[in-house]
Copies of this chain bind each other. A is one copy, B any other.
Amino acid sequence: MSTSTFVLPVSLALQLLTSASPSPQNTATAPSQEPAPKSPATSSVKATPPAVTKLSAAQQATAAKLMGPALAEGHAYARLAELTDGIGPRLSGSESAEAAVQWALRSFQADGVKAWKEPVKVPRWVRGEEHGEILASERTRGLPLALLALGGSAPTPPEGITAEVVEVGSLEELAALGDKVKGRIVFFNHTMSEAADYGRFAGLRGRGPAAAAKQGAVAALVRSLATASLRTPHTGSTRFDEGGPRLPAAAVSVEDALTLHRMLQGGTVKVRLVLGCSDLPDADSSNVVAEVRGREKPDEVVLLGAHLDSWDVGTGAHDDGAGVVMVMEAARLIAKLPQAPRRTVRVVLFMNEENGLRGGRAYAERHAKELSKHVAAIEMDAGGGRPLGVSLHAGPGGEALLWPWLAPLEGLGAAKFLVGHATGADLSPMEPAHVPFVGVRVDSSRYFDVHHSMADTLDKVDPQDLSRSTAAVTWMAYALAESPGTLARPTAPESDDPPKKK
């Protein structure tokens, strides 16, 4: 494994910690006077909560003990290099996914954190040969398409599928076409240009191909959900109904989507598509669970989640290697404290977030009886960007309860409550049990440049940003485990804010 580590200059680490010490004024006025950072539209800062008491000197000292090493030692980044360079892509069911499980267990052991595996049956979808082309017509001599099969795609016959392309911009537009798409390749186009657009258009990838199949289409092409492209296709999961019709489905690069769109302005476009993907039998895999037992209320659990699996094309540095190493580092640092926090901090490295969510479901089922004692859950799965602030999905009074505990995040620019509910794909099976969710939100404005693509590699993660978000999540996990009070539980699953779909 790589031995290189990132070391933050001590002066900067100290500066961050110094400014992290809360002053009475800080706790009584606006959380930060700095200009609002440029961030996704979902990161608007909420109004200041009411004045509250401040942290004790001992609590401040603990913040320094946790956040100092997170900021200065570069341990999370070194781990990320091990996971990405050492293990590489790790799609559920692959040998590499199993290697990642073993690596996580070894790493927790090295950190002095008790860890174990919990079984998860995972789907095993395997990419094969894949290519496609716009066929020659009076408008072109023919052009290859840069594409990636979507996870869950059916294969084409070995000789491929050749059909006319019909473009739609929404599921509604597809529905309106009825059986006019029969025998056609449906091309889902959209206008994603910034990270905040992901939620708007992800349904085209997730549900579009199944809808097209029901209307008799023979294949689907989806414009990649991306905020940057150098002819870079971005894969992702597509879902077909159990027993419903399936079809071959692929993401094309933004450039190829633009080309298809231009070509379709001039007349009929035929595409030939060859996808050699296959579904193997479900495989045995695992969530990796680790915990630091609480000193007073060990049965009350603060859950820190991230997902260990990645897509098969990049090395999953942002998605979700960054989240994995952040929550592992949180456990390592909390375990090193002279005194454990009041409650148990439990890290769950979920398997199969990307193409099945089986790990999230398996955890919620296996631990169903404990979920009423899960007092908070955080999932880190939005890349390795710098921390922006905190969001909640809890009952009333959550912000007032947590507000004093945000003070140590001041020096990171993250001592803010952000608009929008905390979510997490792997956490979503815990929603019916009313587990409160806490979001430690990071800057994801460039996340979709590389998300689900070959380009999601270590070099895209900024070591300083990673260390800052690691410090933030470490502290918030401790705060939730140590705070005398706990968050009120949300009354019902939020129907207007569904869990993050990937």
Asked whether B454 lies within 8 Å of A140 as measured between CB atoms, the reply is no
In the complex, A38 has a CB within 8 A of chain B: no
* The residue from B1, B85, B141, B143 contacting A259, defined by CB atoms under 8 A apart: B85
In the assembled complex, how far is the CB of residue A374 from the closest CB belonging to chain B, in whole angstroms? 34
Q: How many copies does the complex hold?
A: 2
In the complex, A495 has a CB within 8 A of chain B: no
CA distance A479 to B160 in the complex (A): 55
In the complex, A99 has a CB within 8 A of chain B: yes
Interface centre among A85, A139, A232, A454 (most CB of B within 10 A): A85
CA distance A487 to B383 in the complex (A): 58
Asked whether A142 lies within 8 Å of B88 as measured between CB atoms, the reply is yes
Asked whether A259 lies within 8 Å of B96 as measured between CB atoms, the reply is no
Asked whether B141 lies within 8 Å of A88 as measured between CB atoms, the reply is yes
Asked whether A231 lies within 8 Å of B232 as measured between CB atoms, the reply is yes
The segment from A112-120, A244-252, A261-269, A284-292 that touches chain B is: A261-269
In this complex, the interface size class of chain A, counting residues with CB under 8 Å from chain B, is: 35 or more
Given contacts A85-B262, A262-B2, contact A143 B315 (CB under 8 A): yes
In the assembled complex, how far is the CB of residue A420 from the closest CB belonging to chain B, in whole angstroms? 28
CA distance A88 to B95 in the complex (A): 40
Q: A1-17, CB under 8 A of B: which get 1 and which 0?
A: 11110000000000000
In the complex, A319 has a CB within 8 A of chain B: no
* The residue from B138, B232, B254, B459 contacting A258, defined by CB atoms under 8 A apart: B459
Given contacts A231-B454, A259-B85, contact A141 B1 (CB under 8 A): no
Asked whether B457 lies within 8 Å of A231 as measured between CB atoms, the reply is yes
Majority SS at the chain A contact face? loop
Q: Which of A201-232 contact B (CB under 8 A)?
A: 228-232
In the assembled complex, how far is the CB of residue A369 from the closest CB belonging to chain B, in whole angstroms? 38
In the complex, which residues of chain B have a beta carbon less than 8 angstroms from the beta carbon of A231?
A: 232, 314, 453-455, 457
In the complex, which residues of chain B have a beta carbon less than 8 angstroms from the beta carbon of A88?
A: 140-143
In the complex, which residues of chain B have a beta carbon less than 8 angstroms from the beta carbon of A458?
A: 258-259, 262
In the complex, which residues of chain B have a beta carbon less than 8 angstroms from the beta carbon of A228?
A: 230
In the complex, which residues of chain B have a beta carbon less than 8 angstroms from the beta carbon of A96?
A: 141
In the complex, A86 has a CB within 8 A of chain B: yes
In the assembled complex, how far is the CB of residue A183 from the closest CB belonging to chain B, in whole angstroms? 25
Asked whether B139 lies within 8 Å of A2 as measured between CB atoms, the reply is yes
CA distance A139 to B138 in the complex (A): 52
In the assembled complex, how far is the CB of residue A91 from the closest CB belonging to chain B, in whole angstroms? 13
